[in-house]
Amino acid sequence: MSDCPFCRIVRREARADVVLEDDDVLAFRDVRPQAPVHLLIIPKRHVDSLAGAADGDAELLGKLLLAARDLARREGIDATGYRIVANRGRGAGQTVFHLHVHLLGGRAMGWPPG
Ligand code: 5GP
Ligand code: ZN
């Protein structure tokens, strides 16, 4: 989508601190980090949220999680623990309507989230 901020990052029309890229997936640092490590992992193709994913996107969705696994190792938060979050809808806190998985780590986290 032309006006989607994350599509603009995919197209390199907007700057981001990219930490991983392959044919299908892009990961970059959140501009307002909520933890010492806070990455966003997105499909390069625009999908508005998990609700917009199709059954045929199973492999793509799996790639997002495997990217989170690999990045957690690389960022050194695997042993101490990390959280992955995908907000769907404004009521859940979604503000950017391009599917993304948050990877948060490097500090203690409470449960349940507020
Ligand atoms: P949501 O609230 O939709 O689950 O998460 C959106 C996240 O994207 C927020 O944590 C916000 O800080 C981050 N964000 C919004 N716009 C940009 C941007 O242009 N660049 C980067 N790197 N992060 C962004
Ligand atoms: Zn998009």
Which DSSP category does 68 fall into? H
Active site residues: 100
Domain boundaries, the chain: 5-105
Separation of alpha carbons 31 and 113, rounded Å: 21
Q: Is the confidence at residue 114, as pLDDT, over 90?
A: no
pTM of this prediction? 0.98
CATH architecture of 5-105: 2-Layer Sandwich (3.30)
In a 13 Å sphere around the CA of 80, the CA atoms on its Cβ side amount to 13
Q: How is residue 80 written in tokens?
A: 């101490």
- Percent of the chain at pLDDT exceeding 70: 100
pLDDT digits (tens, 9 = 90+) for 31-48: 999 999 999 999 999 999
For atom 17 of ligand 1, the residue with the nearest CA is 31
- Ligand 1 residue neighbourhood (C-beta within 6 Å): 5, 14, 16, 28-32, 40, 87, 93-96
